[in-house]
């Protein structure tokens, strides 16, 4: 049984528990090596080929304004440095990023709670959580997005706002759907710093360095294409969402509607669909939410086995059960409560557009971190004197 002294931030036992962190990091590291190199599972997703194509265009001096170019830039950099072993080097980079997120959640949990055991619980959950291990092997944006997004919060809590802003900006450069997270973080930071003059409340370094990567890539896009943009797939994503319902997404819809060729027209199509069939619209959105967070995942049109569906559902049950309980317990504690922002943004956005279970991957570390408060509270109540 654990002793009460482990839950006392002033106790020497609280500090000495740090010795367990290297073991957790090592376990997480070995599990990720196995899934990437020894499991025999594939590494290339259908989107991976698009990212590689955009990377090749960047290396040739061009620019493709479709997927956000953050991950293609990473691929291009690795291709330049190690052209013969690009895939392998990218997998090692994913492993490094994923193990770093384990340390990030440890430090955030320990720093916000004052308890080493809470940080260790968060790190242990993340090190061994099945989906967090599985997606490291895919050469897609999931792992880099989680790394940069969680890193932004890691540096934010250390008040290293230059690095925090840079990491949040890079997260958006890799996956544009996370941009509302850092915008909300800025606003809440200003709102909850009421005891200082307004100008002192504004985190200028955070804002400048978050926006800087987006300005650079947008300016490069303008130079190459004549259009300032950081991601060119917004229009087509809105079109897809008109018929999207859970696992069903009509990826040919844009070809069927060639006249919908701007973001404005796509939004009009979306609103028209919502007005014409409000009940059908609601059913679609509920199906999208279930695709993200349901307790029994869809078959993905026959692409998932029963075991995979159960495992995904069980993972969601753990994430929501522990994470939302932890948030509720700490909802009046501003530094902890804002960890819910990624869950809110990604859930609302992809419920309203279209959903895939992998879109929740960058959110999972935040829910596991909040879940560590739930588990720590339970263990503290059971601890012996």
Report the C-alpha gap between 35 and 41 in whole angstroms.
Answer: 7
Long-range (24+ apart) CB contacts under 8 A made by 214-223 are 214/169, 214/172, 214/173, 217/69, 217/70, 217/73, 217/173, 220/63, 221/63, 221/65, 221/69
pLDDT of residue 1: 66
- List CB contacts of 309: < 8 A, sequence separation 6 or more: 296, 297, 298, 299
Report the C-alpha gap between 369 and 110 in whole angstroms.
Answer: 10
The tokens of 49 are what?
A: 């080929």
Residues of the chain under the 50 pLDDT cut = none
pLDDT of residue 360: 96
Residues in the chain: 385
């Amino acid at each position: 049984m654990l002793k009460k002294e482990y839950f006392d931030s002033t106790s020497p036992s609280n500090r000495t528990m740090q010795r367990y962190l290297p073991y957790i990091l090592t376990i997480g590291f070995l599990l990720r090596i196995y899934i990437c190199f020894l499991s025999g599972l594939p590494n290339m997703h259908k989107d991976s080929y698009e990212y590689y194509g955009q990377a090749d265009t960047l290396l040739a001096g061009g620019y493709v304004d479709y997927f956000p170019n953050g991950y293609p830039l990473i691929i291009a950099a690795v291709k330049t440095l190690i052209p013969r072993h690009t895939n392998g080097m990218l997998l090692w980079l994913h492993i490094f990023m994923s193990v770093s997120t384990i340390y990030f959640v440890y430090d955030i949990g320990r720093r916000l709670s004052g308890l080493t055991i809470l940080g260790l619980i968060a790190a242990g959950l993340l090190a061994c959580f099945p989906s967090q291990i599985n997606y490291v092997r895919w050469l897609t944006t999931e792992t880099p997005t989680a790394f940069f997004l969680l890193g932004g919060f890691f540096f934010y809590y250390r008040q290293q706002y230059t690095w925090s802003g840079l990491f949040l900006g890079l997260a958006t450069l890799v996956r544009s759907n996370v941009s509302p997270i850092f915008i909300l973080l800025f606003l809440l930071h200003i709102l909850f710093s009421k005891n200082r003059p307004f100008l002192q409340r504004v985190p200028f370094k955070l804002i400048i360095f978050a926006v800087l990567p987006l300005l650079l890539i947008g300016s490069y896009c303008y130079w190459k294409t004549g259009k300032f943009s950081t991601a060119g797939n917004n229009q087509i994503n809105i079109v897809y969402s008109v018929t999207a319902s859970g696992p069903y997404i009509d990826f040919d819809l844009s070809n069927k509607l060639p006249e919908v060729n701007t973001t404005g027209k796509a939004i009009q199509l979306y609103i028209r669909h919502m007005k014409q069939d409000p009940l059908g619209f609601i059913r679609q959105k509920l199906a999208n939410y279930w695709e993200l967070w349901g307790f029994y995942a869809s078959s993905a049109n026959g692409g998932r086995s029963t075991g995979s569906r159960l495992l995904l559902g069980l993972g969601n049950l753990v994430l929501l059960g522990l994470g939302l309980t932890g948030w509720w317990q700490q909802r009046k504690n501003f530094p902890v409560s804002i960890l819910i922002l990624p869950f809110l943004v990604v859930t609302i956005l992809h419920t309203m557009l279209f959903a895939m279970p992998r879109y929740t991957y960058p959110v999972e570390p935040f829910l596991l971190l909040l879940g560590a408060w739930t588990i720590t509270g339970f263990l503290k109540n059971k601890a012996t004197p």
